[in-house]
Structure 1
Amino acid sequence: MRKPALSGFIAASLCLSSPAHAWGPIGHRITGAIADENLSGLARARVRLLLGNEDLAQAATWPDDMRSAPDPFWQKTASPWHYVTVKGDDYQTSDAPPAGDAVTALAHFSAVLRDPKASPDEQRMALRFVVHIVGDLHQPLHAGAGDDRGGNTVSVSWFGKPTNLHSIWDSALIEQRGLSYSEYAHWLSRAITPQEVIAWNQTDPNVWIHESVALRKTIYPTDPALSWDYAYQHRGEVDQRLEQAGVRIAATLNRIFESAPPPRP
Structure 2
Amino acid sequence: MRIYSLLAIPLLLTTPAQAWGPVGHRITGAIADENLSGVARAHVHLLLGTQDLAEAATWPDDMKSDPAEYWQKKAGPWHYVTVRQGDSYQSKDAPPEGDAMSALDGFTATLRNPKSSIEDKRLALRFIVHIIGDLHQPFHAGGGDDRGGNDVKVTWFGRSTNLHSVWDSAMIEQRSLSYSEYAQWLSRTISPEQMIDWSDPAPSVWIAESIALRKTIYPADPAISWDYAYKHRSAMDDRLKRGGIRIAAYLNWLFEPRRGAVPTATPK
TM-score normalized by structure 2? 0.89
SS in 2 for 1:130: helix
1:9 match: none
2:53 match: 56
Structure 1 pair 171/157, CA: closer, same or farther in 2 (3 Å)?
Answer: same
1:71 match: 68
Residue 101 of structure 1: how far off its partner (Å) = 0.3
Q: How does 1:115-264 map to 2 (within 5 A)?
A: 115-259=113-257
SS in 2 for 1:153: coil
- Structure 1 unaligned residues grouped into runs of 5+: 1-18
Quote the Cα distance in structure 2 between the aligned partners of 1:186 and 1:113: 29
Q: How does 1:76-91 map to 2 (within 5 A)?
A: 76-87=73-84, 88-91=86-89
Q: How does 1:30-41 map to 2 (within 5 A)?
A: 30-41=27-38
Answering whether residue 25 of structure 2 is matched by residue 42 of structure 1, we say no
Residue 247 of structure 1: how far off its partner (Å) = 0.3
In the alignment, is the contact (CA less than 8 A) between 1:85 and 1:144 conserved in 2?
yes
Residues 38-70 of structure 1 deviation map (CA, whole Å, 9 limit, x = unaligned): 000000010000000000000000000001110
Quote the Cα distance in structure 2 between the aligned partners of 1:36 and 1:240: 17
2:91 match: 93
Quote the Cα distance in structure 2 between the aligned partners of 1:190 and 1:168: 25
2:3 match: none
Residue 194 of structure 1: how far off its partner (Å) = 1.1
In the alignment, is the contact (CA less than 8 A) between 1:113 and 1:260 conserved in 2?
no
The number of residues matched between the two structures is 243
In the alignment, is the contact (CA less than 8 A) between 1:114 and 1:259 conserved in 2?
no
SS in 2 for 1:218: coil
Amino acid at match of 2:136: H
SS in 2 for 1:147: coil
Residue 20 of structure 1: how far off its partner (Å) = 2.5
Residue 128 of structure 1: how far off its partner (Å) = 0.1
Quote the Cα distance in structure 2 between the aligned partners of 1:175 and 1:80: 26
SS in 2 for 1:156: strand
Amino acid at match of 1:46: H
Quote the Cα distance in structure 2 between the aligned partners of 1:201 and 1:91: 20
Amino acid at match of 1:172: A
Residue 259 of structure 1: how far off its partner (Å) = 4.4
Quote the Cα distance in structure 2 between the aligned partners of 1:133 and 1:228: 30
Residues 167-198 of structure 1 deviation map (CA, whole Å, 9 limit, x = unaligned): 00000010011100000000001111111110
1:6 match: none
Amino acid at match of 2:77: P
Quote the Cα distance in structure 2 between the aligned partners of 1:205 and 1:80: 17
SS in 1 for 2:256: helix
Amino acid at match of 1:85: T
Quote the Cα distance in structure 1 between the aligned partners of 2:191 and 2:173: 24
SS in 2 for 1:163: strand
Quote the Cα distance in structure 2 between the aligned partners of 1:73 and 1:20: 19
TM-score normalized by structure 1? 0.90
Quote the Cα distance in structure 1 between the aligned partners of 2:198 and 2:227: 28
Quote the Cα distance in structure 1 between the aligned partners of 2:224 and 2:257: 46
Residue 260 of structure 1: how far off its partner (Å) = 6.2
SS in 2 for 1:179: coil
SS in 2 for 1:162: strand
Answering whether residue 124 of structure 2 is matched by residue 114 of structure 1, we say no
Residue 202 of structure 1: how far off its partner (Å) = 1.1
Residues 16-49 of structure 1 deviation map (CA, whole Å, 9 limit, x = unaligned): xxx8311000000000000000000000010000
